[in-house]
Amino acid sequence: MYQDAFEVRFFGGPLDGHVQQLRVPQSQLVELATFPINRNLFRLMSRHPSGKPHPVTSVASYRLECVNEQYRYQFVGAVTPLSPVK
């Protein structure tokens, strides 16, 4: 069963300061989230039409943490779309 909406905050990296409202069970939050970064990202995350397509400039990774009973995503790194995986 879904609960009331709750906020997840992003710390560090290109999403620093972003607050996302979610309506999913907190147990279903992914431990490691990756996001393709481009000019349309914040429009998509706020459920607005993305507009004209823009190329991905990087891919950012965030790890889920629970601090003071609040969930947040902490930046762990980013790569360019053409970077080799290490």
Each residue's pLDDT, cut to its tens digit, for the chain (86 residues) gives: 456 788 999 999 999 999 988 888 888 899 999 998 988 877 777 777 767 877 888 999 999 999 998 999 999 999 987 755 55
pTM above 0.85, yes or no: no
Of 24, 7, 25, residue with least CA distance to 73: 7
**Which residue spans within the chain are E strands per DSSP?**
6-11, 19-22, 32-37, 58-67, 70-79
What is the Cα–Cα distance from 27 to 15, expressed in whole angstroms? 22
